[in-house]
């Protein structure tokens, strides 16, 4: 149902027909890169976080991880990923299809600077087997409740980041 909401949301912008649906999963950066035939860094990874009692979405390049110190400096508290149930309830998209489109009013979207090095990126489109290609300007313009560009990441291979295993 979420992909239909995204399609309806993007329709007035004239870009809904650009949504691609795959016969295989695109639920992770790696799977999406294979489905699209692009470098994983160009996958726009949407991550839901709990900030106080609300949800926010941070969208980064696929080869990045959110850096704990940068996140805390920007948002004033430690990063807490949404659980599956919280993502479903608070964002309206299930993990694997989380995207910055067709979001509830209270969900702010932050886009990470890491994506600006690419001419286009590929965010999901509301399901675990979909994506849409957009420029960063389009992503900013079409994201629900775009709030700001942020710098909260570092490449996966550089130092400790949220999601690293110890």
- 3 Cβ neighbours under 8 A, 6+ residues apart: 19, 21, 97, 125, 126, 127, 130
| Inside any domain, residue 86 | yes
Domain span at 96:
2-155
What pairing do the DSSP bridges indicate for beta strands 153-155 and 130-131? unpaired
pLDDT (average), residues 28-36? 97
Q: Residue 160: pLDDT band by 50, 70, 90 thresholds?
A: very low
Strands (E), 53-155: 54-61, 64-66, 108-112, 122-123, 130-131, 146-150, 153-155
Question: Which CA distances in Å does 138 have to 13, 35, 128?
Answer: 10, 22, 22
Domain count along the chain = 1
Predicted confidence band of residue 157 (pLDDT cuts 50, 70, 90) = low
Q: What is the CATH number of the domain that holds 133?
A: 3.90.960.10
> According to the model, what pLDDT value does residue 155 have?
72
Structure confidence at residue 165 (pLDDT): 32
Let me know if residue 32 belongs to a domain.
Answer: yes
- Flag whether 10 is in a domain: yes
Q: Quote the pTM value.
A: 0.91
- Strands 130-131, 20-21: pairing is antiparallel
Q: Three-state DSSP class for 130?
A: strand
Task: Report the mean per-residue pLDDT for the chain.
Answer: 93
Q: Is residue 165 part of a domain?
A: no
Q: Does residue 137 lie within any of the structural domains? A: yes
Q: What is the mean pLDDT of residues 110-114?
A: 98
Does the pLDDT of residue 55 top 60, yes or no? yes
Residue 135 forms part of a structural domain: yes
Has residue 161 been placed in a domain?
Answer: no
pLDDT band at 161 (very low <50, low <70, confident <90, very high): very low
Query: Quick one: pLDDT at residue 154?
Result: 86
């Amino acid at each position: 149902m979420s992909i239909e909401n995204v399609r309806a949301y993007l329709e007035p912008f004239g870009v809904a027909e650009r949504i691609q649906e795959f016969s295989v999963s695109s639920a992770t950066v790696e799977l999406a890169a294979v489905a699209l035939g692009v470098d994983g860094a160009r996958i726009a990874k949407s991550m839901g976080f709990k900030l106080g009692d609300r949800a926010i979405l941070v969208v980064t390049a696929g080869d990045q991880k959110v850096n704990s110190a940068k996140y805390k400096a920007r948002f004033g508290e430690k990063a807490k990923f949404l659980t599956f149930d919280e993502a479903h309830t608070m964002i309206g998209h299930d993990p694997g299809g989380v995207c910055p489109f067709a979001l509830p009013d209270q969900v702010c979207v932050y886009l990470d600077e890491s994506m600006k090095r690419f001419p286009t990126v590929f965010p999901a489109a509301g399901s675990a087997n979909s994506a849409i290609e957009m420029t960063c300007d389009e992503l900013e313009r079409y994201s629900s409740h775009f709030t700001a560009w942020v710098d909260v990441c570092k490449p996966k291979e550089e130092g400790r980041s949220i999601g690293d295993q110890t």
